[in-house]
Amino acid sequence: MRHKIKTIAVAIVMCLFLGACSQNSANKDISVLAQQTATLEPAQLRTITDLGGNTVKIPAAADIQRIVVLSPPVMSFVVNAIPDTGTIAGINARAFTTSNVEIVKKVFPNWQSVDTSFVDSSFTINKESLLALNADIIFYYGNFQKKGLENIDIPCIDFFSKELNDPEAVSIAWDKQLRDILGQNSTSNLQNEWNTTNEKLTELLKREHKRKTALCIFSNTAGSIVVSGTDSTDSYAHSFFAKAGVTNAAVDIEGTTEVSMEQIYKWNPDMIIVFHDSPAQSILDNSIEGQDWSLLDAWKNKEVYDVPRTTYSWITPCADSPLMPLWLVSKAYPDLLDESSMKTFVLDYYKRNYDITLFDADIDTILNLRKAAKK
């Protein structure tokens, strides 16, 4: 009996000892795992220099699951590059007011469910709303948009470069920076598209044609007409005109500047393109109070057009920028590039870049091809 009790006692002691060893081993394993995790987490961060020259530590590409886009035109690059638009946690609502909703909903199906409450139309940021989005990364443009991002422990990437103001160079740089961040092929898809466009432009413009002048109405509201002169950080029409073999009527103006109707009469451009605010049709109808457009050749010949929009307006750097100079050629020199060929360019572009088949109705919403009534 004593032997049996002794045997049981020994067994109990052994169990306690083994249990303690097991617990110590488990604790040791957990400790080692924690140390490994602590070592791995910082190593997963990448250090990049963004287009603004800022050194930023960003997560591994696989860890970027929630993106906030503060800069409206950058949206077009994001929806073009990411495999799942569900990773867009927040976006500036102005991205939608300067785009074509019919096209946006095809490439960005969940656009209406994405939060826009964290920033207002003047780019004032509500930090509480922004932090509630639990963003892994934020995309912005320049110091003006950076206001409100101070003391936020989230990687913020600047898409503004003071070295670039040509829309081709800007759009390629944006595309490359975004693809580098997302861990995609660093070769810019947009570079290939620009190469294709430039080759086509060379082919088209070598044919004989009478060079036209054009004017870009940047904005027209409350009686204030702002036009686009030479390229600046907010105006890119000049380079687009040059690529299309068109002379900018406002070439003597730097950036965007308010002008009078009298100045526009002096320029008397052959063609007018309209960015936003009062639409081209208002000019064609000559219905804007205090403005008489009927004295201009562009009005008389019905050569007044709204700039096309897809995931953003083509007059600014966007994922569809390579289409803009081709569209300008189709409007300025229809004998070189007719409307049917331009539609084909758009159709093929969207199939290549978005794997989306557009229908005639879709393309018409992009190009807004008007048949102005003859007087």
Give CA–CA dist 61/83, Å, rounded: 12
233 neighbors 199 (Cβ within 8 angstroms): no
Architecture field, domain 47-160: 3-Layer(aba) Sandwich (3.40)
Q: What is the DSSP letter of 73?
A: T
Task: For residue range 165-200, list pLDDT tens digits in order.
Answer: 899 999 999 999 999 999 987 556 899 999 999 999
CB contact set of 32 (below 8 Å; sequence gap of 6+): none
Cα gap 329→327, rounded to integer Å: 5
Pick the CATH number of 191-366 from 3.30.1360.120, 3.40.50.1980, 3.60.15.10, 1.10.10.10: 3.40.50.1980
The CA distance from 292 to 329, in Å, is: 27
Domain 47-160 and domain 191-366 have a common topology: yes
Count Cα neighbours of 164 within 13 Å in the Cβ-side half-sphere: 17
Amino acid at 105: K
Lowest model confidence (mean pLDDT) among 224-233, 322-331, 350-359, 366-375: 366-375
Q: What is the rounded average pLDDT for all residues in the chain?
A: 87
Q: What is the pLDDT of residues 58-71, one digit of tens each?
A: 999 999 999 999 99
Structure tokens at 238: 């000049």
Collapsing DSSP to helix, strand or coil, 272 comes out as strand
**Any idea what the Cα angle at residue 326 is, between residues 193 and 314, rounded to 5°?**
75
pLDDT 10s digits, 94-126? 999 999 999 999 999 999 999 999 999 899 999
**What sign does the dihedral 309-310-312-315 (CA atoms) show?**
negative
Helices (H), the chain: 2-44, 74-81, 94-97, 101-107, 127-131, 142-146, 167-181, 189-205, 237-243, 261-267, 280-284, 297-300, 324-332, 339-354, 360-367
Query: Which sequence spans correspond to the domains of the chain?
Result: 47-160, 191-366
Q: What tens digit of pLDDT does each residue of 283-336 get?
A: 999 999 999 999 999 999 999 999 999 999 999 999 999 999 999 999 999 999
| Whether the predicted pLDDT of 40 surpasses 60 | no
Against a cut of 0.75, is the pTM above it? yes
Q: Are 31 and 81 in contact (CB under 8 A)?
A: no
